[in-house]
DNA sequence: GCCTTACTACGATGGCTATCGTACGAGCCG
DNA sequence: CGGCTCGTACGATAGCCATCGTAGTAAGGC
């Protein structure tokens, strides 16, 4: 019965509706290196990941802050799953609002990272 | 003075080279409403425009600041032309570094503006 | 019941930044 | 020359923001 449905209803996190997502907010969220890295990894894995999955060069407090910025700007969706908090990209919403934007940013980020490494 | 300056103008502005343009910097530059508006207008007109061409809801000091941010992040190129300073999008550089990114952002901004007006 | 794991909330802090006003320099034009 | 327009520089200010540490809550395992 509660296998595929959102069972843990104890804590619910506020997310902006699709129409409330603002381009400026998304761009600002993506303009931070730590957050861009998170988004890149989420896109690369393709599935929702727990916060602890990431190995970021900041403390856990700061990590929480970055995930909140991403959620409040509409870039990711956060759902509690037991003790873990799963983070998933809001690909459908973003692609509908800003077609191609996410892919462009991800491609650009990948190219930039590649340029820095071996070029 | 009669300094026999070889340059067309005694004042030359520092621009980042193409390889120095960082994605995070560009996204941050575009995440400000005033700057996004400037970039949209530059893209729409398609030619370099003087600073005074824009009717922005901020003072001239702040306008100068925003243009500098755009220049230092690599989004625009600024050239003195007599008493005016002409601002042009660095389309070629941006399209080469981040293919499609600028167009995606501009399209998204246009759609968002349209949604706010009457839709 | 207790301990561990996962994450949050709160307060502090230093830095960045958007904004302004005022004073100034650089070209044009009467 | 004297002013006029365009844009800059500098200083100030207020707000945001990335970061941290510490203390606390929620869920699950022993």
A:B CB pairs within 8 Å: 72
Q: Round and report the angstrom distance from CA (B44) to C1' (D18).
A: 35
User: Which structural domains are found in chain B, ordered by start?
Assistant: 18-110 (1.10.10.10)
pLDDT digits (tens, 9 = 90+) for A69-111: 999 999 999 999 988 999 999 999 999 999 999 999 999 999 9
**Distance of alpha carbon A105 from alpha carbon A99, whole angstroms:** 12
Collapsing DSSP to helix, strand or coil, A90 comes out as coil
Is the Cβ–Cβ distance between B112 and A23 less than 8 Å?
A: yes
Nucleotides, chain C, CB distance < 7 Å: 5-11, 17-22, 25-28
Whether residue B23 and residue A109 make contact (CB cut-off 8 A), yes or no, is yes
Cα torsion angle, A92, A44, B101, A76, sign: positive
Residue of chain A whose Cα is closest to the Cα of B25: A31
pLDDT at residue number B115: 86
By C1' distance from the Cα of B13, the closest nucleotide is: D8
Is the Cβ–Cβ distance between A113 and A54 less than 8 Å?
A: no
**Distance of alpha carbon B63 from alpha carbon B38, whole angstroms:** 10
Q: Which position has the token pair 């941010």?
A: B69
> Which has the minimum average pLDDT: A73-87, B6-20, B86-100?
B6-20
A74's tokens: 């509409």
Whether residue A108 and residue B99 make contact (CB cut-off 8 A), yes or no, is yes
Whether residue A33 and residue B27 make contact (CB cut-off 8 A), yes or no, is no
Residue B116 predicted with pLDDT over 80: no
Q: Identify which of B101, B111, B112 has the shortest CB distance to residue A104.
A: B101
Whether residue A23 and residue B112 make contact (CB cut-off 8 A), yes or no, is yes
Residue B66 predicted with pLDDT over 70: yes
Residue B5 predicted with pLDDT over 50: no
A113–chain B Cβ distance below 8 A for any pair: no
Nucleotides, chain D, CB distance < 7 Å: 5-11, 17-22, 26-28
> Which has the minimum average pLDDT: A4-18, A28-42, B7-21, B72-86?
A4-18
Distance of CA B81 to the CA centre of its chain: 16
Beta strand segments in A1-119, E:
49-50, 76-81, 84-89
Q: In chain A, what's the furthest Cα-to-Cα distance?
A: 53
């Amino acid at each position: 019965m509660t296998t595929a449905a959102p069972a843990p209803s104890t804590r619910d996190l506020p997310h902006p509706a699709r129409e409330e997502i603002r381009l400026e907010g998304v761009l600002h969220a993506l303009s931070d290196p730590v957050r861009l890295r998170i988004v890149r990894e989420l896109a690369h894995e393709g599935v929702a990941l727990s916060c602890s999955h990431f190995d970021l060069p900041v403390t856990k407090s700061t990590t929480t802050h970055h995930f909140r910025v991403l959620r409040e700007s509409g870039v990711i969706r956060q759902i509690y799953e037991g003790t873990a908090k799963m983070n998933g990209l809001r690909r459908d919403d973003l692609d509908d609002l800003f077609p191609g934007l996410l892919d462009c940013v991800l491609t650009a980020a990948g190219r930039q990272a590649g340029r820095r490494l071996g070029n």
